[in-house]
Structure 1
Amino acid sequence: MIGKIIGAIAGSKASKHVSGIGGTGGALLGAAAPVVLRRLGPLGLIAAAAGGYAFKKYSEKRQAQSLKTPQPRFGSEPTRTQA
């Protein structure tokens, strides 16, 4: 019972740093996380951690690429005229 309450509080706080999830959604995910992690077992926990790490690296790489290559704007290039 106390684990679910602590998980709900942690999930609510963590949802403030994630876009698309509100405080209530984070609390529900935090309350459900201990139950899911218990069912996964040690190998499932390792797989979930590895998947989370891989997703973090993927999203950081994608964000760095989007910052590195600016998107072309419509009408920003000078037009060429034929002589």
Structure 2
Amino acid sequence: MIGRILGALVGREIDRRDGQGGLNGAAIGALSVGAMRRMGPLGLLLGGGYVAKKAYDRRRQARGEI
């Protein structure tokens, strides 16, 4: 379940990066879930780290620290 949530978050970040909504982020999110499952705990750690880094960068930018 955590892997699916992380996959959805990764897909959302991809959609935000390219500026277009739609199927691209959803497809990449679904593929990332499969990759994270195959990698085991390391995949969950990498996926969670990616989402956390993006959230941290967005928060820093909103505060004007960059």
Instruction: Give the alignment's TM-score, normalised by structure 1.
Output: 0.46
Q: d(CA) in 1 for partners of 2:27 and 2:50?
A: 21
Deviation beyond 6 Å, 4+ runs, structure 1? none
CA radius of gyration, larger in: 1
Query: What does residue range 6-17 of structure 1 map to in structure 2 within 5 Å?
Result: 14=12
Question: Is the CA contact 2:37–2:43 (under 8 Å) kept in the aligned structure 1?
Answer: no
Instruction: State the AA in 1 paired with 2:30.
Output: A
Gaps of 5+ in 2: 1-7
Question: Normalized per residue, which structure has more helix?
Answer: 2
Q: 1:56 to 1:33 in 2, by over 3 A?
A: same
Gaps of 5+ in 1: 1-9, 67-83
Aligned residues: CA RMSD: 3.1
Does 1:59 find its partner at 2:54? no
Deviation at 1:21, TM superposition (A): 3.5
Q: d(CA) in 1 for partners of 2:63 and 2:57?
A: 10
Identity percentage over the alignment?
28
Instruction: State the AA in 2 paired with 1:18.
Output: R
